[in-house]
Amino acid sequence: MDLKKVLAKEINFQVLSSWSEEEIYTLIETPKHAHLGDLAFPCFRLAKEWRKAPGVIASEIAQSLHSPMFNNVEAVGPYVNVRFDPILTGKEIVSSVLEQGVHYGSHSFGKDKTIVLDMSSPNIAKPFSMGHLRSTVIGNAIANLAEKCGYETVKINYIGDWGTQFGKLIVAFKRWGDEEKVKENPIAELFTLYKKFHEEAVQDPSLEDEGRKAFKLLEDGDEEITTLWRWFKNESLEAFKTIYSLLGVEFDSYNGEAFFNDKMEEVVELLENHQLLETSQGAKVVRMEDETLPPCLIKKTDGATLYATRDLAAALYRQREYSFDEALYVVGQEQTVHFKQVKGVLEKLGFDWANAMKHIPFGLYLKDGKKMSTRKGRVILLEEVLQEAINMAGENIKKKNPDLKEAAEVARDVGVGAVIFHDVKNDRMNDIEFSLEHMLTFEGETGPYLQYTHARAKSILRKAGAPSPLAFDGLNDSASWEVIKQIRLFPETVERSWKNYSPSILAKYLLELAKSFNSYYGNTKIIHEDPKQESRLTLVYIVASVLAQGLNILGIGSLDEM
């Protein structure tokens, strides 16, 4: 039940028939403090139309609103503050949740539409660092939000398996590599070689030319170079899949940059046919003056292709393959200009669907205030962070619940959940300073706090032997009403999180729900044989259900015991 719709309908019927319910709905606010009421309607916009002060208008509207669902309506300054009847309204809300079950919070506006997400996309032959965590978990949560809103999703891991860096790595391996060491510990050894190349290139700049030449050989299909590249790629993918398994993230496609190596000539031909390709200092470019952007490089002076060429080919392929309604690129904000160029080139080619391509940027993980860099060796390995989080969770379990069944699985879900939630609770545009201490704190506004709240609710239900089916006959205390008000916000929170591509909105909501429930639990004897016990247990049940759904959307496991 959407209380904002109830209030909007009443205002529309009693006072503002000249406005639509939708217009009124968009203005209704939730007061920051509970003592001000459940909802508030601001009267500022009416002042010009009615030629009266907002406070006077608020008083007139307050006197006109009469509904059995309203407990109290009063004017507070320029606002009309409304309190709903907790028993009557609570019954409506809880009945709706019970009726919809796991579909509560779902929407249908995405039905028969497809969303393609380009996410995660680490580079092969390099370790999976904290720097790639954000794209992975933000992208996964956005995909889950899309599915909750009815969309079909296609999650693409656009692996970085092409480009000049692989020419450099091949040069490094041929100069200093040891095949046995690479076989024994491929990612770590290849990473060491990659760093060594850049260290040596400072003293010997000619190495950079060697790297470029080696990549050109790779593009031309040189057998020896291609064999090395394919070996590096296969080893990397196996290592990546171990991490994705820990994170609980799956993909529909691993088509990386190399997949489009034989599809780029079509792009070049299209640009030539549309007379968009120009020569600049030996390179092939598309001018972007109309968009006040630098030229989009399509081919280097040596004929080698660039990121933009492959991304253009990928966009064409994905539209043909999936007929997407939206294509989301969950990539760091430093790539903003690049995606504007790619989208701009497609628009110049006359593809209307280019408007459906959206860059979903996010801030960086920083180390000591600086961007992490594999080239400079300033990197923190995600697998090590995840394992440390799991180990810490395991130690906590041993201390607090040594007899817990399946302790290893619980420790994994708690540790990984802590890392994921630490990321998604932050606004995606904010940079995050890496701090293992903050990430692995299991108290306060954390993933483990939410998991523990869910486990507490499930424990209460087990202890009470909660009846099924459940029934709710209404509760009249302020603590339960605060919980019910949070529950009714779940559907609109899901919608708002999706429309803003912002998992942090959902994460913050779940924290508020958990706080209101824990306050209720701390002030109410839930298991107490009286006529309201079943209603109290039903409230516990729906809290557990919404917490589980919310955690699942964020990519975090909900636990029955901790």
pLDDT tens track for 518-542? 999 999 999 998 999 999 999 999 9
Token reading at 562: 């901790």
User: Dihedral through CA 167, CA 218, CA 118, CA 416, nearest 10?
Assistant: -50
Distance, in Å, from the CA atom of 443 to the CA atom of 419, rounded to the nearest integer, reads 13
- Backbone phi, psi, residue 158, to 5°: -80, 75
pLDDT at 1: 77
Taking alpha carbons only, the member of 381, 375, 379 closest to residue 197 is: 375
pLDDT surpasses 90 at 290: no
pLDDT at 377: 54
Token reading at 404: 């817990």
Average of pLDDT values for 155-176?
93
- Whether 3-84 and 114-263+302-371 share one fold: the answer is no
CB 136 within 8 A of CB 120: yes
Mean pLDDT estimate for the chain = 92
- Backbone phi, psi, residue 471, to 5°: -140, 150
Cα of first residue to Cα of last residue in the chain, in angstroms, is: 33
pLDDT surpasses 80 at 442: no
pLDDT at 328: 98
pLDDT at 373: 60
Taking every pair of Cα atoms in the chain, the longest distance, rounded to a whole number of angstroms, is: 85
pLDDT band at 437 (very low <50, low <70, confident <90, very high): confident
CB 271 within 8 A of CB 277: yes
Contacts of 230 (CB under 8 A, 6+ apart): none
Q: How many CB atoms lie within 10 A of CB 413?
A: 22
Q: Which residue has the tokens 């990539």?
A: 331
Q: How many CB atoms lie within 10 A of CB 95?
A: 14
Question: Using one digit for the tens of pLDDT, what is the confidence trace for 115-128?
Answer: 999 999 998 888 88
Average of pLDDT values for 44-64?
95
- Backbone phi, psi, residue 286, to 5°: -115, 125
Q: How many CB atoms lie within 10 A of CB 161?
A: 24
Average of pLDDT values for 331-342?
94
Please, what sign has the CA dihedral across residues 104, 107, 112, 117?
Answer: negative
What DSSP string runs through 94-133? HHHHHHHGGGTT---TTTT-EEEEE---PBTTS--BGGGH
pLDDT at 376: 56
Average of pLDDT values for 296-322?
90
- Cα-based distances in Å from 81 to 46, 64, 140, 214: 16, 13, 39, 70
* Percent residues over pLDDT 90 in the chain: 79
Question: Using one digit for the tens of pLDDT, what is the confidence trace for 390-406?
Answer: 999 999 899 999 999 99
Three-state SS for 502?
coil
For residue 252, give the DSSP letter: S
CB 400 within 8 A of CB 452: no
Enumerate the domain spans of the chain.
3-84, 114-263+302-371, 382-554
pLDDT band at 191 (very low <50, low <70, confident <90, very high): confident
pLDDT band at 372 (very low <50, low <70, confident <90, very high): low
Contacts of 495 (CB under 8 A, 6+ apart): 107, 149
pLDDT at 522: 93
Q: How many CA atoms lie within 13 A of 208 on its CB side?
A: 7
Contacts of 265 (CB under 8 A, 6+ apart): none
Class of the CATH domain delimited by 114-263+302-371: alpha beta
pLDDT surpasses 80 at 207: yes
- Residue 91's H or E segment, with its range, is helix 86-100
CB 430 within 8 A of CB 530: no
The DSSP bridge pattern shows strands 365-367 and 277-280 to be: unpaired
Question: Using one digit for the tens of pLDDT, what is the confidence trace for 17-46?
Answer: 999 999 999 999 999 888 899 999 999 999
Query: Regarding the domain with residue range 382-554, which homologous superfamily does it belong to in the CATH classification?
Result: Isoleucyl-tRNA Synthetase; Domain 1 (1.10.730.10)
pLDDT at 22: 94
pLDDT band at 379 (very low <50, low <70, confident <90, very high): low
Question: Using one digit for the tens of pLDDT, what is the confidence trace for 463-512?
Answer: 999 877 788 999 999 999 999 999 999 999 999 999 999 999 999 999 99
pLDDT at 378: 58
Distance, in Å, from the CA atom of 25 to the CA atom of 41, rounded to the nearest integer, reads 9
pLDDT surpasses 80 at 371: no
Query: Regarding the domain with residue range 3-84, which homologous superfamily does it belong to in the CATH classification?
Result: Arginyl tRNA synthetase N-terminal domain (3.30.1360.70)
Distance, in Å, from the CA atom of 291 to the CA atom of 268, rounded to the nearest integer, reads 21
Average of pLDDT values for 120-146?
92
